[in-house]
Amino acid sequence: MKAAVYQGSHEILVKDVPEPLVGPTDVLVRPKFVGICGTDLSAWEYGMYEPGLILGHEFSGEVIEVGKDVIHWKKGDRVVPNSLLPCGKCSFCKALKFSLCDDMQMVGISMNGGLAELVALPQNMLHRLPGTIDYKKGAFVEPLSIAVRGFNRIEFERGNSVLILGTGTIGIMSLYFAKLRGASVVYASEIRPARLEMARKAGADAVINPTKESLPLRIEGLTDGAGIDVVVECTGSPGPSGEAFQLVKRGGTILVLGISEEPVEVDFMRGVLNELSLKFSYLGYAEFPEAIRLLAEDMINPTPLVTRVISLDRVVEDGFEALTRPDNQDVKVLVEI
């Protein structure tokens, strides 16, 4: 079968590999659509994954075969994998803090993922995809679960003002979910014009390009100097992460969803004097059913975020290489298997 195999920094090979073995409790899935996310791009640039890994953790697919001890799945079922497989034994798992698991496995990150014609996954890693969610929309379950988890981890109140820093997939998912949770206004900051326009179409009350105008001054004008109740950091860049302390109001909250590869300078004096809450959130796990429900009931429609669909053969040139160019304007690129 054909698969996108990670070899190291700036090296991914699309090549023929053996079909995966299906264990007694495994399910063989044929991926349909796979999203390329910021974590994958960081691995491409910085060499974060183990060589030989098949990439792809945001995907939907169809069950092709089940192991002899599998009970709840059958051929033809439509599925989406969870983002992680916790060990279930460590102290964090026993405390239901699965994203902190001592020995977690992550599809497409520490175990083979969906950028392949077939992938074998443990049966307890899968969620059923309702008929109201097509395969393309199903590829957004994982990123939506991250936004859901983040907002569930903070004391968000109806009527709060929200500022999204970075309007890639996670940023737009956060924008949608903030609106759904009753935010009074949601502003968005982004340096790439196409993504900023996508945020506007997604319902942002104001959009700001911080390379064209001062973000703190614009927020000061929009809020009459009060600042923002909740600032959601989705850029994964040190500059915006540090600037969040200037943008949030006294007593407000900074929610960090983006992962910065570089150290971030933060203003702890401002944080202490203003009694700010700084909350970090990692992955989604228990939030998958809620993310699926939101998509199934069409409460959130991520389909407009898809700016290109590419083939597996072109995943390097049209995917990773294109997405890491400074002038790239894509919001979401999906790979159709």
**Confidence class for position 265, pLDDT limits 50, 70, 90:** confident
pLDDT greater than 80 at residue 215 = yes
Pick the most confident of 82-86, 118-122, 232-236: 118-122
- State the first-to-last Cα distance of the chain, in angstroms, to the nearest integer: 11
**Confidence class for position 266, pLDDT limits 50, 70, 90:** confident
How many CB atoms are located within 10 Å of the residue 69 CB?
10
Question: For position 243, what pLDDT does the model report?
Answer: 87
Residue whose structure tokens are 């109806």: 158
Indicate the DSSP class of residue 181. Answer: T
The whole-angstrom separation of Cα 274 and Cα 125 is 42
Question: For position 310, what pLDDT does the model report?
Answer: 98
Torsion of CA 1, 62, 145, 100, to 10 degrees: -60
**Confidence class for position 158, pLDDT limits 50, 70, 90:** very high
Question: For position 45, what pLDDT does the model report?
Answer: 86
**Confidence class for position 237, pLDDT limits 50, 70, 90:** confident
Tell me the mean pLDDT in the region 248-274. 90
Tell me the mean pLDDT in the region 226-235. 96
Question: For position 110, what pLDDT does the model report?
Answer: 94
pLDDT greater than 90 at residue 77 = yes
pLDDT greater than 80 at residue 238 = no
Write out pLDDT tens, residues 187-212.
999 999 999 999 999 999 999 999 99
pLDDT greater than 90 at residue 302 = yes
| Average pLDDT of the chain, as a whole number | 95
Pick the more confident residue, 332 or 242. Answer: 332
Burial 32-50 (b: 16+ CB within 10 A, else e): bbbbbbbbbbbbbeeeebe
Question: For position 307, what pLDDT does the model report?
Answer: 94
| Cβ neighbourhood burial of 215 (10 Å; 0-12, 13-18, 19+) | buried
Q: Locate the DSSP E strands across 191-271.
A: 206-208, 228-233, 248-256
CATH class of 154-280: alpha beta
Tell me the mean pLDDT in the region 108-127. 97
**Confidence class for position 241, pLDDT limits 50, 70, 90:** confident
pLDDT greater than 90 at residue 261 = no
Tell me the mean pLDDT in the region 37-64. 92
Question: For position 25, what pLDDT does the model report?
Answer: 97
**Could you tell me which of 292, 11, 315, 305 has the C-alpha nearest to residue 128?**
292
How many CB atoms are located within 10 Å of the residue 306 CB?
19
Tell me the mean pLDDT in the region 40-46. 89
Which residues are registered as beta bridge partners of 163?
187, 231
* Of 28-37, 63-72, 259-268, 315-324, the least confident: 259-268
Question: For position 240, what pLDDT does the model report?
Answer: 77
Q: Are 233 and 257 in contact (CB under 8 A)?
A: yes
Domain ranges in the chain?
A: 2-143+284-336, 154-280
CATH number, span 2-143+284-336:
3.90.180.10
